[in-house]
């Protein structure tokens, strides 16, 4: 909600402003013209010297009369501005949306140390690992989902909720920044991770419930089979988007040895068949991200696919404020009338 000052009849300014300026100019020029006209036909009075008259100071009454004239200009100006109908308006916006509840499921197992997604950086030692690249892309995705509740599940050998569903995306970003490789173990429990996310979405009343799973391997730990987790998701109306992160073939790893950091290459093994089956079972989709650009495009596509219509209703409430100008104008007018009944009165 915001409050601003408006003039309902601002168009009158184009007519009133020139008339006011002409009136002020006439008020200043006309007395001089009248004295000039009178001086042309009047008889002169002879003085032996006007030196004494030049030393006479302007009377205080004359100065005050000029002040009274200024009051009249101010009075008329206030009345003209009041005619423009000043108003303060409050803009009220109502947003009505059911939104989407999204659980981000991120793999933090040891294999996420691979340096293949940041391939634009030619020096391998300067590359970011898979988790760092994924977090940066996910951060942008979160910022684009203003009206959705988002939560985070991390997994390795175990799976746990890093951040529950919330509309406070600043908190989500903070938790994402704290992710570390190995924080949930070095193995890969995909079934448990999806099961944990689905459990978080079970009681959701959102129009759409989504799990976005990112992993770079195959399930080799946990108590819940990945397909069983997908069946539970299907039953509860939860859609799974699965992303396999990693280049095809061998991926570089930076390993500390006695001789210092060394680059080793290992095969990338992503269980694409299972990830695809899980996604299709729930009405989602499977994607393969072999580099940073592909990963960003995947999240952008999911962002476009999972959108809900937002109804926004805006209206204005106005308060008339012309009285704040009319009342001072009346006070100034009464002050002028009162002052002109004193020593400031002009004699005929």
pLDDT in tens, 66-115: 677 777 788 888 888 888 888 876 655 555 555 789 999 999 999 999 99
Mark whether 147 and 214 lie in a shared domain: yes
Whether the pLDDT of residue 194 is over 90: the answer is yes
Q: Indicate the pTM of the whole model.
A: 0.64
- Asked if residue 57 belongs to a domain, the reply is yes
Mark whether 203 and 83 lie in a shared domain: no
Enclosing domain of residue 60: 2-40+50-90+317-339
| List of E strands, 246-331 | 250-257, 260-267, 285-289, 311-320
8 A C-beta contact, residue 249 and residue 221 = no
Whether the pLDDT of residue 44 is over 60: the answer is no
Mark whether 214 and 75 lie in a shared domain: no
Mark whether 164 and 302 lie in a shared domain: yes
Residue 285's domain is classified under what CATH number? 3.40.50.410
- Asked if residue 128 belongs to a domain, the reply is yes
Mark whether 73 and 150 lie in a shared domain: no
Q: Where does the pLDDT of residue 12 fall: very low under 50, low under 70, confident under 90, or very high at 90 and above?
A: confident
- Who's near 47: CB < 8 A, 6+ residues apart? 53
- Asked if residue 344 belongs to a domain, the reply is no
- Give strand pairing partners of 160: 154
Mark whether 297 and 210 lie in a shared domain: yes
Mark whether 223 and 249 lie in a shared domain: yes
Whether the pLDDT of residue 347 is over 50: the answer is no
Mark whether 279 and 328 lie in a shared domain: no
For the chain, the domain total comes to 2
- Asked if residue 45 belongs to a domain, the reply is no
Q: At residue 151, what are phi and psi to the nearest 5 degrees?
A: -130, 170
Mark whether 30 and 147 lie in a shared domain: no
Calculated CA dihedral for residues 122, 126, 132, 136, nearest 10 degrees = -70
The rounded mean pLDDT for the chain is 84
- Asked if residue 139 belongs to a domain, the reply is yes
Mark whether 86 and 57 lie in a shared domain: yes
Q: Please, what's the largest Cα pairwise distance for the chain?
A: 124
End-to-end CA distance of the chain: 59
Q: How far apart are CA 86 and CA 123, in angstroms?
A: 64
- Asked if residue 172 belongs to a domain, the reply is yes
Q: How far apart are CA 44 and CA 54, in angstroms?
A: 18
Whether the pLDDT of residue 316 is over 80: the answer is no
- Asked if residue 215 belongs to a domain, the reply is yes
Mark whether 116 and 146 lie in a shared domain: yes
Mark whether 176 and 286 lie in a shared domain: yes
Whether the pLDDT of residue 50 is over 70: the answer is no
Residue closest to 246 by CA, chosen among 119, 155, 96, 57: 119
- Asked if residue 61 belongs to a domain, the reply is yes
Per-residue model confidence (pLDDT) at position 60: 63
């Amino acid at each position: 909600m915001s409050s601003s000052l408006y003039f309902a009849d601002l168009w009158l300014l184009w007519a009133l402003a020139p008339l006011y300026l002409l009136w002020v100019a006439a008020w200043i020029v006309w007395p001089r013209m009248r004295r000039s006209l009178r001086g042309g036909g009047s008889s002169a009075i002879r003085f032996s010297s006007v030196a004494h008259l030049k030393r006479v100071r302007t009377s205080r009454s004359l100065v005050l009369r000029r002040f009274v004239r200024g009051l009249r200009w101010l009075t008329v100006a206030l009345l003209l501005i009041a005619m423009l109908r000043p108003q303060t308006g409050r803009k009220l916006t109502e947003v009505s949306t059911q939104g989407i509840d999204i659980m981000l499921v991120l793999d933090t197992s040891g294999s996420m140390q691979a340096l293949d997604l940041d391939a634009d950086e030619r020096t391998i030692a300067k590359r970011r690992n898979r988790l760092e690249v994924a977090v940066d892309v996910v951060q942008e995705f979160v910022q684009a989902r203003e009206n959705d509740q988002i939560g985070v599940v991390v997994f390795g050998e175990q799976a746990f909720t890093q951040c529950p569903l919330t509309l406070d995306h600043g908190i989500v970003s903070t938790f994402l920044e704290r992710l570390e490789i190995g924080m949930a173990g070095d193995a890969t429990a995909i079934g448990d991770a999806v099961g944990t996310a689905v459990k978080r979405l079970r009681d959701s009343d959102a129009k759409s419930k989504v799990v976005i799973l990112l992993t770079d391997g195959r399930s080799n730990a946990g108590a819940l089979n990945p397909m069983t987790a997908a069946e539970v998701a299907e039953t509860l109306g939860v859609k799974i988007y699965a992303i396999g992160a990693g280049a095809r073939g061998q991926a570089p790893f930076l390993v500390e040895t006695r001789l210092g950091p060394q680059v080793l290459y290992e095969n990338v093994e992503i269980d694409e068949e299972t990830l695809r089956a899980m996604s299709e079972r729930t009405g989602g989709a499977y994607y393969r991200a072999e580099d940073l650009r592909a990963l960003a495009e995947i999240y952008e596509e999911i962002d476009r696919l999972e959108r809900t219509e937002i109804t926004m209703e805006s209206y204005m409430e106005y308060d008339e404020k012309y009285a704040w100008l009319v009342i001072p104008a009346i006070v100034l007018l009464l002050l002028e009338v009162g002052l002109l009944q004193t020593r400031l009165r002009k004699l005929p």
